[in-house]
């Protein structure tokens, strides 16, 4: 009987090709097959020209691959190839369904290793030059998402912490903002919204909790929302619009 291949769950990071880890890039260059998320950029896939590429993306409101089918594809690939990569946006262990995939692989006796990636919240903090913690202001951070199974939707609560980072924000962040206002958060609490973090079409918006509660414009890519007093712009900090203008005229 042919030995099973090894599967690597690799975090691709927020999107930019050069934000993947060296270990992740090295394994991509050796991979026989790469099963990749919809959020993985074409530039990232340039790191594995030798590999068979299989799109197994999940996108809200769009045609998606069922998780059970993804699990089966990984198992089928492990029977056929020596080095299998499951490439995920961000970090595999944060909102990446890693538990389900690890269970499927371990249950079938397939060797699996996880390679971490830069999660979008940290890339967004860097892109906006806004630390998520700040001495005397924010000592705690929560990463959360409202995306959940339908039967649990009414159980989603806003975390009780200094800085909040909502993944897959979009329209769901509007509901979060209203809940925060209802819980007594100040209407002028700073909010930073970042779309397509680290990519060429990255877009940053600065607003307040009250403004967010009234709505967000149409998003053209993945959205992450950061909320809390740590997001207040520093006295001498340029706005993102000003910084972009400096880059374009330099």
Active site residue 180: no
Single out the catalytic residue among 53, 58, 79, 80. 58
44 an active-site residue?
A: no
What is the DSSP-derived secondary structure letter of residue 56? -
Of the candidates 211, 203, 207, the residue with the CA atom closest to the CA atom of residue 241? 203
CA distance 13 to 8: 15
3-state secondary structure 150-168: HHHHHHCCCCCCCEEEECC
Out of 37, 91, 162, 240, the active site residue is 37
In whole angstroms, what is the distance from residue 43 CA to residue 183 CA? 43
Cβ neighbour number for residue 237 with a 10 Å cutoff: 13
Catalytic residue among 168, 180, 226, 240: 168
**Is 37 annotated in the active site?**
yes
Closest CA to 132 of 146, 116, 123: 123
Angle, vertex CA 150, rays to CA 147 and CA 156, nearest 5? 55
Q: Cite the DSSP H helix spans in the chain.
A: 22-30, 42-45, 67-80, 98-107, 120-128, 170-182, 209-213, 240-249
Q: Which of 163, 166, 119 has its CA nearest to residue 144?
A: 166
Instruction: Write out the catalytic residue numbers.
Output: 37, 58, 168
């Amino acid at each position: 009987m042919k030995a099973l291949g090894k599967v690597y769950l690799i975090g691709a990071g927020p999107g930019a090709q050069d934000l993947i880890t060296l270990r992740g890039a090295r394994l991509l260059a050796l991979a026989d097959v790469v099963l990749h998320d919809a959020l993985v950029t074409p530039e990232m896939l340039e790191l594995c020209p030798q590999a068979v590429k299989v799109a197994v993306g999940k996108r809200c409101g769009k045609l998606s691959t069922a998780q059970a089918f993804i699990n089966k594809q990984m198992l089928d690939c492990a029977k056929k190839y020596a080095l299998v990569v499951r490439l995920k946006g961000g970090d595999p262990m944060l909102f990446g369904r890693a538990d389900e995939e690890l269970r499927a692989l371990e249950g079938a006796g397939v060797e699996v290793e996880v390679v971490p990636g830069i999660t979008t919240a940290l890339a967004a903090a860097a892109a906006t030059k806004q630390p998520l913690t700040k001495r005397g202001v924010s000592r705690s951070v929560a990463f959360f998402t409202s995306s959940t199974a339908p039967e649990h939707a009414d159980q989603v609560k806003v975390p009780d912490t200094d800085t909040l980072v909502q993944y897959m924000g979009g329209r769901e962040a509007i509901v979060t903002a209203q809940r925060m206002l209802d819980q007594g958060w100040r209407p002028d609490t700073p909010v930073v919204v970042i779309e397509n973090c680290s990519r060429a079409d990255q877009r940053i918006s600065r607003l307040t909790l009250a403004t967010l509660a009234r709505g967000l414009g149409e998003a053209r890519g993945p959205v992450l929302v950061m909320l809390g007093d740590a997001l207040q712009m520093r006295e001498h900090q340029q706005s993102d619009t000003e910084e972009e203008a400096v880059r374009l005229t330099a």
